[in-house]
């Protein structure tokens, strides 16, 4: 758990976020004034009830007091509810903006950090932080402030009508009530923390199973997955039971404190310990104001529970959301005119050395193939180029360290097609156009015909407007890859980095895709390939083996290829020579 204090959380929510919202600033003062007035009128009702009781006992006219009773009650109720009625718009706006901003923070994370957190946990954190921010504002402004006002007016009223001792008893009971509430709340906070952890684990497990639905179905492991998921739910059930039972213990303890408070003051009045003898009207006054106090403090327990829950949720999210990735000053560099250089690059993953002293260059316009056995780090190499992983050494673009180039500028220069790319749960044409501006449907249809998928998509229920399903699962692997390739070409960046983009395509489609990229004279293409029959399409070949990169072909000429490792690789690929 983060060492962030409650004060720092409240400061972040109110000062850095909420006070920046004009709607909050405009409504805050009217809300506070309405709250103070409502609390004053509510306490004054007890004095009016006392006067009514006295008039009835003395058989006096009570119409005036009854009129004030009605006006004060209706005014207090109206002001109390109108505060909630108006301020709920502010609370929901805060929820929306916090949700949106937290989503932005996560979506801007590097892939490595994002994947380390887990998408299930991220969903839970976005939801919790949004609720925490809106609930903190609602509890402190709409709930806690009215309680403070009511307690202040009650103390003054009891002191004026009944004297010092009853006022002291009420103050002491409130203090004892608060201490008990806080003590049990701390206990419940620890339980809530465990429950949050259990829910995070459960969410990740649930999402993992749902994503792998086809695998589970085909292997007949439904019972196994249900059992594993149920193990996570057992922890949630256990912690949730303890959490709610602690609340019931708190409620009973609070009622007991009210009972002792009322009994003590009534006994003092009956036995003559008060400054004045306790009359019937005074008793009615005390019962009325005790009910007001009871309602006030009864809500305090619920509010404190909401407050502590919001703080725990905020702290659990602050550990991740509050920590931004360290980024040094960057520069905008929207051009790529020369080359990409790897200079003595080293990379380790979980203390395992993957690459050592990588040094090679990729010139503008070159078409580069990356080959090698499975598991040697081909995908890792391009992730280093894309800045997805941290490494030692230097990768430069036009003589500038890529780490010094702004994120926006770098992404505007490089297009990436991942090995297992998924689609948005939108239409076919939406996924093709994604990330591109001012792209006509005609351009999309032309590329679709080139890659042999125009007829396929046209025959779908709604043609190119057909939704592809979650992660594109309603389409075949080859159809998904063609959409990703069309998207990349439409983006028309200067550098294309492709991680086996044609693995699910037939040979003719694969050739069409490759020709589409190599026919761009100014485009720099870096592609991992397995089909070595297409190797002559590339200007440069990088062979990965033994934690290093061997340049086999450069500027269209073979400059290597005699190593034993390459011979073994070609033999396993059933190819005698790359020439």
Dump pLDDT digits (tens) for 113-123: 887 888 878 88
In this prediction, residues 228-254 reach a mean pLDDT of 90
Higher pLDDT: 20 or 98? It is 98
From first CA to last CA, the distance across the chain in angstroms is 59
What residues pair up with 527 in beta bridges, in sequence order?
369, 498
- 338 phi/psi in degrees, rounded to 5: -130, -85
Cα distances (angstroms) measured from residue 365 to each of 360, 487, 495, 515, 521: 16, 20, 8, 14, 6
Pick the CATH number of 6-321 from 1.10.10.10, 1.10.287.1060, 1.20.1560.10, 3.90.400.10: 1.20.1560.10
For residues 269-292, give the mean pLDDT: 71
- C-alpha–C-alpha distance, residues 192 and 309, integer Å: 7
Among 477, 441, 340, residue whose Cα is nearest residue 397: 340
Indicate where the chain has its CATH 3.40.50.300 domain(s): 339-572
CA dihedral 434, 419, 108, 103 (to 10 degrees): 70
Q: What is the mean pLDDT of residues 25-35?
A: 87
CATH label, 339-572, candidates 3.20.20.140, 3.40.50.300, 3.30.360.10, 3.40.47.10: 3.40.50.300
Burial of 211 (0-12, 13-18, 19+ CB in 10 A): middle
| Nearest one of 338, 377, 352, 311 to 542, comparing CA atoms | 377
Predicted confidence (pLDDT) at residue 322 exceeds the cutoff of 60: no
Mean pLDDT across 96-106: 86
- Composition of the chain by helix, strand, coil, percent to 5: 65, 10, 25
Report the range of poorest mean pLDDT among 126-135, 325-334, 349-358, 367-376.
325-334
CATH 1.20.1560.10 segments of the chain: 6-321
Helices (runs of H) and strands (runs of E) counted in the chain: 18, 11
Counted residue by residue, the chain has a size of: 579
Q: What integer is the mean pLDDT of 156-184?
A: 83
Residue 325 clears pLDDT 60, i.e. is over it: no
pLDDT at 1: 44
Residue 286, pLDDT > 90, answer no
Query: Which pLDDT band holds residue 154 (cuts at 50, 70, 90)?
Result: confident
pLDDT at 224: 87
Q: Which of 157-161, 271-275, 332-336, 445-449 has the lowest mean pLDDT?
A: 271-275
Q: Each residue of 392-402: pLDDT tens digit?
A: 999 999 889 88
Task: State the Rg of the chain over Cα.
Answer: 35
- Give the residue-averaged pLDDT of 339-365: 91
110-119, 165-174, 381-390 — which one is most confidently predicted on average? 381-390
Q: What is 199-263 written as a DSSP string?
A: HHHHHHHHHHHHHTHHHHHHHT-HHHHHHHHHHHHHHHHHHHHHHHHHHHHHHHHHHHHHHHHHH
What are the pLDDT digits (tens) for 559-577? Answer: 665 677 777 777 776 665 6
The model scores a pTM over 0.75: no
> Are the CB atoms for 69 and 45 separated by under 8 Å?
yes
Contact indicator for 484, 501 with CB cutoff of 8 Å? yes
Q: How far is the C-alpha of 35 from the C-alpha of 418, rounded, in Å?
A: 56
Residue 328: the pLDDT is 54
Q: Is the dihedral of CA 557, 560, 562, 566 positive or negative?
A: negative
Beta strands in 7-73 (DSSP E): none
Cβ–Cβ under 8 Å, residues 164 and 81: no
pLDDT value at residue 240: 92
At residue 323, the pLDDT reads 52
What pLDDT was estimated at residue 560?
63
Per-residue model confidence (pLDDT) at position 351: 83
Task: Give the mean pLDDT of the chain.
Answer: 83
CA distance 6 to 132: 12
For 520, phi and psi rounded to 5 degrees? -90, 100
**349-358, 415-424, 425-434: least confident range:** 415-424
Q: Give 353's DSSP letter.
A: E
H helix intervals, 397-440: 407-411, 428-433
Q: What pLDDT does 326 receive?
A: 53
Give 484-523 pLDDT, tens digit per residue.
Answer: 999 988 888 889 998 888 887 888 888 888 888 888 888 8
- Higher-confidence residue of 215 and 549: namely 549
Q: What pLDDT was estimated at residue 74?
A: 92
Contacts of 147 (CB under 8 A, 6+ apart): 296, 297, 299, 300, 303
Neighbours of 125 (CB within 10 A): 25
**Nearest-angstrom CA–CA distance, 423 and 239:** 37
Whether the Cβ atoms of residue 363 and residue 338 lie closer than 8 Å to each other: yes
Q: β-strands 339-349, 392-397: how paired? A: antiparallel
Task: Determine the pLDDT at residue 98.
Answer: 84
Q: What is the mean pLDDT of residues 150-165?
A: 83
How far is residue 501's CA from residue 451's CA, in Å, rounded to a whole number?
A: 13
Instruction: Say yes or no to pLDDT of 334 above 70.
Output: no
């Amino acid at each position: 758990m983060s060492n962030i204090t409650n004060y720092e959380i409240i400061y972040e929510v109110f000062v850095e976020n909420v006070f920046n919202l004009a709607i909050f600033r405009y409504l805050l003062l009217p809300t506070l004034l309405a709250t103070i007035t409502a609390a004053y009128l509510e306490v004054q009702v007890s004095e009016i009830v006392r006067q009514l009781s006295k008039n009835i006992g003395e058989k006096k006219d009570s119409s005036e007091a009854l009129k004030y009773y009605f006006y004060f009650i209706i005014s207090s109720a109206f002001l109390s509810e109108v505060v909630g009625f108006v301020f709920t718009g502010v609370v929901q706006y805060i929820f929306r903006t916090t949700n949106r901003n937290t989503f932005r923070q996560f979506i801007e994370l590097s892939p490595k950090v994002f994947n380390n957190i887990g998408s299930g946990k991220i969903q839970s954190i976005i939801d919790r932080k949004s609720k925490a921010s809106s609930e903190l504002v609602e509890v402190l402004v709409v709930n806690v402030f009215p309680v403070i006002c009511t307690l202040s007016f009650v103390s003054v009223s009891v002191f004026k009508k009944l004297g010092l001792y009853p006022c002291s008893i009420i103050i002491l009971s409130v203090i004892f009530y608060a201490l008990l509430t806080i003590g049990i709340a701390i206990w419940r906070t620890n339980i809530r923390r465990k429950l949050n952890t259990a829910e995070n684990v459960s969410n990740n497990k649930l999402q993992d199973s749902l994503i792998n639905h086809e695998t589970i179905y085909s292997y007949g492991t439904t019972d196994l997955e249900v059992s594993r998921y149920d193990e996570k739910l057992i922890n949630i059930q256990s912690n949730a039971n303890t959490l709610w039972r602690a609340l019931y213990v708190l409620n009973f303890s609070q009622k007991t404190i009210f009972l002792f408070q009322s009994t003590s003051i009534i006994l003092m009045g009956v036995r003559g310990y008060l400054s004045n003898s306790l009359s019937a009207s005074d008793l009615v006054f005390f019962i009325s104001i005790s009910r007001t106090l009871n309602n006030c403090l009864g809500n305090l327990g619920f509010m404190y529970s909401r407050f502590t829950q919001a703080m725990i949720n905020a702290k659990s999210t602050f550990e991740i959301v509050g920590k931004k990735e360290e980024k040094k000053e960057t520069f905008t560099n929207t051009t790529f005119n020369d080359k990409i250089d790897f200079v003595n690059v080293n990379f380790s993953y979980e203390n395992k050395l993957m690459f050592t002293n990588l040094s090679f260059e990729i010139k503008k316009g070159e078409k580069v193939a990356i080959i090698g056995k499975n598991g040697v780090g081909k995908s890792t190499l391009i992730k280093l180029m894309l800045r997805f992983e941290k490494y030692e050494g230097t990768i430069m673009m036009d003589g500038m360290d890529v780490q010094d180039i702004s994120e926006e500028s770098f992404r505007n220069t490089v297009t990436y097609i991942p090995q297992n790319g998924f689609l948005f749960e939108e239409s076919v044409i939406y996924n093709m156009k994604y990330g591109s501006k001012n792209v006509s449907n005609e351009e999309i249809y032309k590329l679709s015909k080139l890659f042999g998928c125009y007829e396929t998509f046209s025959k779908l229920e709604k043609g190119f407007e057909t939704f592809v399903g979650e992660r594109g699962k309603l389409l075949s692997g080859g159809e998904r890859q063609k959409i990703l390739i069309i998207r990349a070409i439409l983006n028309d960046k200067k550098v294309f980095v492709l991680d086996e983009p044609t693995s699910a395509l037939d040979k003719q489609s694969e050739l069409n895709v490759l020709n589409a990229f190599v026919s761009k004279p100014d485009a720099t293409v870096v592609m991992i390939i397995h089909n070595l029959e297409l190797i002559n399409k590339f200007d440069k070949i990088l062979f990965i083996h033994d934690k290093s990169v061997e340049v086999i072909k450069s500027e269209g000429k073979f400059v290597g290829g005699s190593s034993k490792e390459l011979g073994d690789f070609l033999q396993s690929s059933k190819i005698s020579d790359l020439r």
